Amino acid sequence: MTDSITPLTEAEVQRLRADFPILRTEVNGHPLAYLDSGATSQRPLAVLDAEREFATTANSAVHRGAHTLAAEATELFEDARATVARFVGADEGEIVWTSNATEAINLVAYALSNASLGRGGAAAERLRLREGDEIVTTEMEHHANLIPWQELAARTGATLRVIPLDDDGALRLDDAEALIGDRTRIVAVTHVSNVLGVVNPVERIVSLAHAHGALVLLDACQSAPHLPLDVKALDVDFAAFSGHKMLGPTGIGVLYGRRELLEAMPPFLTGGSMITTVTTTEAEYLPPPQRFEAGTQRVSQAVALAEAVRYLSAVGMPRIAAHEAEFGRRLVTGLSAIDGVRVLGAGIDLPRVGLASFDVEGIHSHDVGQYLDDLGIAVRVGHHCAQPLHRRLGITSSTRASTYLYTTEAEVDAVIDGVAGAIEFFRRGA
What's the DSSP call for residue 350? S
Q: Are the C-beta atoms of residues 319 and 5 closer than 8 Å to each other?
A: yes
Pairing of strands 341-343, 215-219: unpaired
Catalytic residue among 385, 388, 408, 413: 385
Tell me if residue 370 falls in helix, strand or coil. Answer: helix
DSSP 267-281: PSS-STTSEEEE-SS
**Exposure string over 185-203, b if 16+ CB within 10 A, otherwise e:** bbbbbbbbbbbbbbbbbbe
Angle in degrees, CA 264, 205, 255, rounded to 5: 40
- Per 3-state DSSP, the chain is made up of helix, strand and coil in percentages (nearest 5) of 45, 20, 40
Active site residue 221: no
For residue 307, the one-letter residue type is E
Q: Are the C-beta atoms of residues 189 and 173 closer than 8 Å to each other?
A: no
Q: Closest Cα to residue 398, out of 242, 223, 225, 194?
A: 194
Q: Closest Cα to residue 127, out of 267, 254, 256, 287?
A: 267
Q: Which residues contact 288 (CB under 8 A, 6 or more apart)?
A: 93, 94, 96, 257, 259, 262, 263, 265
DSSP 107-169: HHHHHHHHHHTTTTGGGGGGG---TT-EEEEETT--GGGTHHHHHHHHHH--EEEEE-B-TTS
For residue 24, the one-letter residue type is R
Catalytic residues: 385
